[in-house]
Amino acid sequence: MTPTDAEMLREYERCRELVDSKLEECFLSDGIPHKGLAEAMRYSLLAGGKRIRPVLVLQFCRACGGDEERALPSACAVEMLHTYSLIHDDLPCMDDDDLRRGRPANHIVFGECTATLAGDALQAEAFSLLLSSALPADRVVRMAAYLAEAAGLSGICGGQALDIDGEGKDLGEGEISEIHRYKTAALLKACALIGVSAAGGTEEQIGSASRYAEALGLAFQIRDDVLDCTADEKQLGKTIGSDAGRDKSTFVSLYGVERCRELVRRKTEEAQRALTGCFDDCGFLVWLAGYLAERTA
């Protein structure tokens, strides 16, 4: 029997709750030298959000027959790294956004210096948490390598630099896709590969997960561009129209809303096809791609 949407949503919420519960335990130790910095880190880390990235870690681990409880620290680690990137994205020297996840951005509440340090510390703590995993050492090293690649020149930082360089320029599809292959898809890909590695998955599963995440990442970004033009600020929980305000080329500025919706559909189907024949049960991952393609926030 094919699981219903309601059952899939319950599974998604179960994973989110696992992650949120683990994250609630972070940065509460009496031995922390600067409580204000820890408070700023927790402010953004616990602000909610879809938790797509840690859910991908857990679900790829499950799809490969692994133990999700043992993968949970690495799932939380990727959420820490993602949160760092959001804090830094919002800074005045970057995208200069005042709103994130429905409330004031970190630098609005804590100031630019503390927000910068909160992002720096979250990135370091992400690796600390992942490297403390109880999984076999060879798997942990491989997982850490995936996360490092997604964070650096070939990932978030490289993508952000390309994004800034592209402001005020008329970019083509290849250039826009390159930005988001690094800025968005790289971390989603790392999450998928970390999940497979946590379970000791095969090279075939690594390849399948990589193709899925790359297509999913592009579909996710195109959907983001559509929502930036069609949703409202309360619905999205962040500033609307910020890309247009900073004169950035987007998929919507290139193709328009309707063609972008078709591109989302095509890339989503590509992601779903990438899973065929490589996993015993990939039903949730197939469903997740479709669910994200239709999201409204």
pLDDT at 218 (0 to 100): 95
What is the pTM for the complete model shown? Answer: 0.94
pLDDT at 210 (0 to 100): 97
Residue 104 host element (H or E): strand 103-104
Phi-psi region of 168 (alpha: psi -120 to 50; beta: other; left: phi over 0): left
Task: Report d(CA 29, CA 202) in Å as an integer.
Answer: 38
Nearest by Cα to 263 from 218, 294, 229, 214:
218
- Crossing angle between the packed helical segments 5-23 and 68-90, to the nearest 10 degrees: 80
Task: Report d(CA 210, CA 194) in Å as an integer.
Answer: 10
pLDDT at 1 (0 to 100): 52
pLDDT at 32 (0 to 100): 84
pLDDT at 248 (0 to 100): 82
- Walking along the chain (297 residues) 10 residues at a time, the average pLDDT comes out as 85 97 91 90 95 98 96 98 97 92 95 98 97 96 98 95 90 92 95 98 97 96 90 65 70 93 96 94 96 91
CATH class of this structure's domain 5-293: mainly alpha
> Which amino acid belongs to residue 137?
A
The SS3 call for residue 283 is helix
DSSP state of 100: E
- Angstrom CA distances, 170 to 212, 220, 247, 252, 287, stand at 29, 22, 9, 12, 35
Residues with Cβ within 8 Å of 277's Cβ and at least 6 positions away in sequence, in order, are: none
Answer whether 10's CB lies under 8 Å from 55's CB.
no
182 burial class (0-12, 13-18, 19+ CB within 10 angstroms)?
Answer: buried
Task: Report d(CA 230, CA 296) in Å as an integer.
Answer: 9
Task: Report d(CA 177, CA 160) in Å as an integer.
Answer: 13
Q: The tokens of 134 are what?
A: 């109880």
